[in-house]
Amino acid sequence: MTAKTWTWLGSASALAIMLAGAPAFAAPPAKPTLAIPAGDLATALPSFSRATGLQVLADPALLKGKRTEGVRGQFEAERGLTELLRGTGLNFVRNGGAAILRPMAQRVSTAPAPVAAQAAPVAPTAAQAEEPAMLEALVVTGGFANSLARALAEKRKAANVVDAISAEDIGKFPSNNIAEALQRVPGVAITRDRGEGLFVRVRGLGPNFQIVTLNGRSAAVNENMRDSGQSGRQFRFDTLPSELVAGVEVGKSPLASLDEGALGGVVDVKTFRPLDLGRSTLALSATASRPQLAGKTDPRLSGLASWTNAEGTFGVLAALVFDQRTLRQDRITGVGWSYADPASTLGKTMIAQGISLYPTAIRPTLEREDRERKGVVLSAQYRPSDETEITVDASYTKLDDHYDELTYSVDQNVATLAAGSAVIKDGVLVGGTVNSTTQIGREVSDLAHDNLMVAGRIRQKLEDWTLTADLAYARAFSETSNPITRTRLLGPIGQTTFSMTKVDDDAVPSVRLATADLGNPSLLPFRRIEWRENNATDDETALQFDAERPLSWGPLSRVQFGVKYRERSRDYNRADINYTTNLAGKVFGAEYFDAFPVSSFLGKVDGTLPTNWAMPDPAAFWVLADKTQKGTARADKRNSYHVSEDIAAGYILGDVESKVFNAALRGQFGVRVARTEQISAGNADNGSAAIPVRYKETYTDVLPTANFALELTDTLQARFAAAKVITRPSLADLAPRLTLNSSGTVLTAVGGNPLLKPFEAWQYDATVEWYFAPGSALIAGAFYKDITTFVYSQKTNIVVDGQTYLLTSPTNGGSAKIKGIELAYQHLFKRLPAPFDGLGFLANYTYTDTEATYSPTLKDEMVNVAKNSFNLTAFYEKDRFAARASYSWVDDVLQDVGGAGLSALNDSAFGSLDASVSYKITPSITAAVEAQNLTNASQWQFVKGGWFGGYTHYGRTLSFGLRAKF
């Protein structure tokens, strides 16, 4: 047996001992025994929460002067609370694991995050003292501090290792982007695109290791259309406006009831629902944002309307958002490095000069975008009794993006290196004079991303059983609504002198052109117009049935089981045409070019290179193109594919409640079995023709899970978790596709592999959580993942039509290990004297260490994993004023391994500071000023040795907004 098998058998044996009722364990009674005397209600509620574990939330005004007749006897928590509130004029509504108190005739909003002040406790009776103190009664006061306290309460009572964030109020998330808000969650970092959070990484693992769900249902994934570099299963958070989101939960240890597929974490995005809000509500917001580099002011509007009937049994809700965003990025991309190949003539020449690594190209790029995003969420709930609930959810978002890219390249032919000009440092050619060519290009396109989900759920209690049925359909469609057109000129520019830098120098490379003027329209002959159409459809239909009931069998307090069937498919289509007739080789005058649009390109960074150049007018050249030219059907077939997955899964889990040496133990254990039938269809290329292919793979995964929490004291608890997990390969990686790229001066190719196996791993978690004050905690955890198979990219040469291409394609590697720690601290300084009692602080740090065996002779770190990341947030809330500042930082991220990785572009460490200030003009209207990337930080890339690999600068963004809630 393997060590993993022994570990799991050990966990199972421990469970068997508990079930057998060994002396160290004592099963709790099926129903809590309540002995709460008549008296002040505010005093009685903490006693009730300690006895039942049910978190009770209330507005202080509701409790003032209220008395209870008390409650005695054995009751389930909800029934006991009903008895406690009898005659007070109050009742309650459940919201997750909490009960929200409300007047009989009117519900109160649960959107503000609960907690802050703690009702004064009374000495527990003997009966109460026998029960562990779970959660204290907390009081709703609203604001960012309360959203933190609410999230902490959810973490404390959760069965698994989980972290959460919630909206401070309706339509007000703690950041403009959901991914950016997730940065303050321990173990979560983000990857950015054009300055906006795009993907999330959990515990250092890349976005491909995460699952994103919407209200617990799998979200469809929009694909990258801009450059046809596909991301596969990675959910694009830029398609989801934050105003539509009520909260986000990040599960780091799995439960058997959750969808399989996350080696990192399950990110569940929750939208607003009417009965959870509790009363009819109208919320509006208007914001004006100004990206400093783009120099344009953009509008952002949102609204939410919710209606609930007087009985609180039926409600409908609609939320809308519209925003525009103007973006500009100053970049240097396409930086090429090559290592000296001793088998080639050029390589031998370089090695003879002491050169092992040398630059081949550099490409300054100006990117401009105009984005327009619209979204709507609709929800209806019918809850005629506690036994029945019907929910219907629908959401739709649309992101339209007009993209305009202007670029030139300096391609360095090191074979022409002038004698005596070479500058060599540590075997790296970092300077010299060579003969160069350049390609000037302009890319214009219109891109569109639609995302739709429609779902319904029915929950019905039948005596002890609770039955749930859920049906969902999700569809994500991405396309080039206007085709991508790349207008390119190409030719020699004579001698250039270059000087490369290191990323630590905070300077980009210098390039001096001896004679050429890139601003001269007649400098270069025309090359071609590249025309491309793309579309991708990702959809899923899912049907799930669940059943659960309470038990009183030893420490087993509840059992739950269910089945789920999912049909997932991805259709990707691409067509290309290169227009050359009437164009190629000709030189055109100034009337075919536009004026360069900005005067400060790369103005923030040191370095000497051309900062303006001839800008082709695509429309002028398009008029000359011969529209009778056709694309290559063979290439279009190679680039297009279909991948589908039929997944049938079933699970069973049980809740455990017991005691270990007088310490309360609770947890869940279970197993999930998933059978996947995968079909990959497309066209392979044998070097001279495209051949239709179809691959079918079937595999079954048995995935046990165990999560336990041990309450050592009223404020201290420990968690332990173990599970087997998988991550299915990217849908794009599974495709039998081959994309050839000859748009630059180096021939490259990208391919798929339909025979890839999923990532598989056993993972273990251990945390200690100290809740030392209301809304405050100090948490330390360790995690370990033993990966038995994984996927990585390899580079090989292929020959197509007599030309050699450098092919990047995925393949399965050997084993890998991931280990790390998480530290989190959160404190609301409520006991400080006024006005300092409005202060708060939270911080988290994650360390992730990896080791992977790629082959018998190659061991290295795993790619696309950040070793260190942290977040620091300080805030102040007092009366009508609030201020907050947050700094997030993520370490270097390697993108390749081994000797071939000498020239790979790695992401340099990056940190960003965001801040906001708000003031309540009236109880219903708030004004806010926010800033993103206050330090004006830039993103850098590097190759081995820290030499320059890329630069991106998008500047600060400032915004002013008004929010109203009625």
For the stretch 548-571, pLDDT in tens is 999 888 899 999 999 999 999 999
Q: Is the pLDDT of residue 678 over 80?
A: yes
Q: Is the pLDDT of residue 134 over 50?
A: no
687-701, 771-785, 806-820, 875-889: lowest mean pLDDT where? Answer: 806-820
Chain-centre distance for alpha carbon 744? 32
Distances in Å between the alpha carbon of 772 and those of 708, 779, 960?
Answer: 21, 10, 37
112-121, 579-588, 853-862: lowest mean pLDDT where? Answer: 112-121
With b for 16 or more beta-carbon neighbours within 10 A and e for fewer, the 485-508 pattern comes to bbbbbbbebebbbbbbbbbeeebb
d(C-alpha 561, C-alpha 655), whole Å: 12
Question: CB neighbours (10 Å) of residue 386?
Answer: 11
d(C-alpha 131, C-alpha 135), whole Å: 12
Q: Is the pLDDT of residue 905 over 80?
A: yes
887 with 911: CB under 8 angstroms? Answer: yes
Give the residue-averaged pLDDT of 617-644: 91
86-95, 117-126, 217-226, 469-478: lowest mean pLDDT where? Answer: 117-126
200-209, 341-350, 497-506, 826-835: lowest mean pLDDT where? Answer: 200-209
Q: Is the pLDDT of residue 132 over 60?
A: no
> Between 60 and 504, whose confidence is greater?
504
Q: What are phi and psi of 265, to 5 degrees?
A: -160, 165
> Between 432 and 18, whose confidence is greater?
432
Q: Is the pLDDT of residue 875 over 70?
A: yes
At residue 141 the predicted structure's pLDDT band, cuts being 50, 70 and 90, is very low
8-state DSSP, 901: G
At residue 22 the predicted structure's pLDDT band, cuts being 50, 70 and 90, is very low
Q: Is the pLDDT of residue 27 over 90?
A: no
Give the three-class secondary structure for 204: coil
237 with 176: CB under 8 angstroms? Answer: no
At residue 401 the predicted structure's pLDDT band, cuts being 50, 70 and 90, is very high
Query: What's the pLDDT score for residue 723?
Result: 96
d(C-alpha 246, C-alpha 238), whole Å: 16
Nearest to 459 by CA among 384, 556, 395: 384
329 with 954: CB under 8 angstroms? Answer: yes
Range from 456-465, 727-736, 849-858 that averages highest in pLDDT: 456-465
Range from 54-68, 253-267, 468-482, 803-817 that averages highest in pLDDT: 468-482
What is the average pLDDT value for the chain, to the nearest integer? 85
Distances in Å between the alpha carbon of 375 and those of 85, 268, 347, 520?
Answer: 41, 18, 55, 45
Q: Is the pLDDT of residue 61 over 80?
A: no
Give the residue-averaged pLDDT of 45-49: 79
Residue 929, Cβ density class (10 Å: 0-12 exposed, 13-18 middle, ≥19 buried): middle
Q: What tokens were used for 262? A: 């996350």
d(C-alpha 180, C-alpha 238), whole Å: 10
Q: Is the pLDDT of residue 436 over 60?
A: yes
d(C-alpha 152, C-alpha 150), whole Å: 5
Q: Is the pLDDT of residue 663 over 60?
A: yes
Q: What are the residues facing 917 on neighbouring strands? A: 883, 929
Give the three-class secondary structure for 184: helix
The enclosing H or E element of 462 equals strand 428-462
17-31, 88-102, 788-802, 813-827: lowest mean pLDDT where? Answer: 17-31
Query: What's the pLDDT score for residue 97?
Result: 53
Give the residue-averaged pLDDT of 242-265: 89
At residue 176 the predicted structure's pLDDT band, cuts being 50, 70 and 90, is low
Name the residue with tokens 């160290």.
Answer: 24
615-629, 797-811, 823-837, 861-875: lowest mean pLDDT where? Answer: 797-811
Q: Is the pLDDT of residue 928 over 80?
A: yes
Query: What's the pLDDT score for residue 129?
Result: 32
Q: What are phi and psi of 8, to 5 degrees?
A: -70, -40
At residue 95 the predicted structure's pLDDT band, cuts being 50, 70 and 90, is low
Q: Is the pLDDT of residue 363 over 90?
A: yes
Query: What's the pLDDT score for residue 671?
Result: 97
Amino acid at 306: S
At residue 26 the predicted structure's pLDDT band, cuts being 50, 70 and 90, is very low
Give the residue-averaged pLDDT of 199-220: 87
At residue 826 the predicted structure's pLDDT band, cuts being 50, 70 and 90, is very high
Q: Is the pLDDT of residue 645 over 90?
A: yes
Q: What are phi and psi of 424, to 5 degrees?
A: -120, 130
Query: What's the pLDDT score for residue 174?
Result: 58
At residue 122 the predicted structure's pLDDT band, cuts being 50, 70 and 90, is very low
Query: What's the pLDDT score for residue 16?
Result: 34
The enclosing H or E element of 211 equals strand 211-214
Residue 629, Cβ density class (10 Å: 0-12 exposed, 13-18 middle, ≥19 buried): middle
d(C-alpha 272, C-alpha 317), whole Å: 8
591 with 615: CB under 8 angstroms? Answer: no
Q: What tokens were used for 219? A: 């979200």
682 with 640: CB under 8 angstroms? Answer: yes
286-300, 318-332, 595-609, 885-899: lowest mean pLDDT where? Answer: 885-899
* 0.75 surpassed by pTM: yes
Task: Find the radius of gyration of the CA atoms of the chain.
Answer: 30
Chain-centre distance for alpha carbon 829? 31
Question: CB neighbours (10 Å) of residue 80?
Answer: 23
Amino acid at 736: P
Give the residue-averaged pLDDT of 418-434: 94
> Between 164 and 886, whose confidence is greater?
886
Q: Is the pLDDT of residue 525 over 80?
A: yes
d(C-alpha 188, C-alpha 846), whole Å: 8
437-488 confidence digits (pLDDT tens): 999 999 999 999 999 999 999 999 999 999 999 999 999 999 999 999 999 9
Query: What's the pLDDT score for residue 911?
Result: 93
DSSP 491-517: EEEEEEEEE--BGGGTB--EEEESS--
Give the residue-averaged pLDDT of 76-103: 77
> Between 237 and 808, whose confidence is greater?
237
At residue 165 the predicted structure's pLDDT band, cuts being 50, 70 and 90, is confident
